[in-house]
Amino acid sequence: MKKPIIGITSSHEKENGLRNYHRTTVSIDYTKGVIEGGGIPIIIPTTACIEIIKEQLKLIDGLILSGGPDINPICYGEDFKEKMGVISPERDNNEIKILTEFLKTGKPILGICRGHQLLNVYFGGTLYQDLSYFGKEVLKHRQDVYPELEVHNVIIEKNSILEKIFGNQVRTNSFHHQAVKDLGKGLRAIARSEDGVIEAIEKDNHKFCLGIQWHPEMMVARGNKEMAKIFKLLIKKSC
Ligand code: MN
């Protein structure tokens, strides 16, 4: 059987300094996650041109919206708060166009970290620009070291994609300073850490449209077989 091709979105990175090089970049861990799950990874470079994007998307059977910089808060109707991080308007523009086109196909979508937040914003939801605005003290969600380290529990809702994979809870890594606040239209929060921070969402009426706040690809790339189940299911649904 032909292995499904999974497109991975990328960053448009601008090097500081005199050379001013611009690059397409994305962690190789996403590639490893897709391969471990049984798919063929390809990287989608950013472009603003919708005709090019349409042709790029014809090549893929499933989509991963990868992690990256913060989403411009104007996308959810807010100005910048003090603790906002770095943004990439080129990437926001590119991935919103990609989502608009790819959603028409009904094919599987997995959003990871920024990608999870992007799904929420795309459907009209909002974000905490920093977890210090959550309204109470929360866990340390932005770890500094050990990409594969499980640092918090995630409690999973019944009748969700994640329940089918992991049961009612799973331990995960955590590398984010923002989180989903108000949910977008047609989305359901399907998992939370013990402090109440939303850690996963899924979309109604879609065969596989899942957002995950943690980084399963970092764990899979470092030997975690349990987390590979997320990629295996994405690839199965992409067949
Ligand atoms: Mn977390």
pLDDT tens figures, 97-143: 999 999 999 999 999 999 999 999 999 999 999 999 999 999 999 99
Q: Which residues are tagged catalytic?
A: 113, 215, 217
The mean pLDDT value for 200-212 works out to 98
Least confident of 16-20, 32-36, 229-233: 16-20
Distance 18 CA to ligand 1 centre (A): 37
pLDDT at 19: 85
The two three-digit tokens of residue 213, written as one number: 């706040």
Distances (CA, A) of 105 to 27, 54, 63, 134: 26, 11, 11, 35
Q: Residue 35: what residue type?
A: I
Hey, what are 125's tokens?
Answer: 């939801």
**Is the overall model pTM greater than 0.75, yes or no?**
yes
Edge-to-edge strand order for the sheet containing 209-212? 40-44, 5-9, 62-65, 109-112, 209-212, 198-203, 187-193, 152-156, 169-172
Per-residue pLDDT tens digits for 58-101: 999 999 999 999 999 999 999 999 999 999 999 999 999 999 99
Tokens describing residue 12: 């448009």
Q: What CA–CA distance (Å, rounded) separates 160 from 162?
A: 5
Q: What is the pLDDT of residues 171-191, one digit of tens each?
A: 999 999 999 999 999 999 999
Distance 7 CA to ligand 1 centre (A): 25
Q: Please tell me the distance between residue 52's alpha carbon and the centre of ligand 1 in angstroms.
A: 35
Note residues around ion ligand 1 (Cβ under 5 angstroms): 141, 174
CA of 175 to the centre of ligand 1 (A): 7
- How does DSSP assign 99-156, residue by residue? HHHHHTTT--EEEETHHHHHHHHHTT--EESSGGGSSS-----B--S-TT---EEEEE
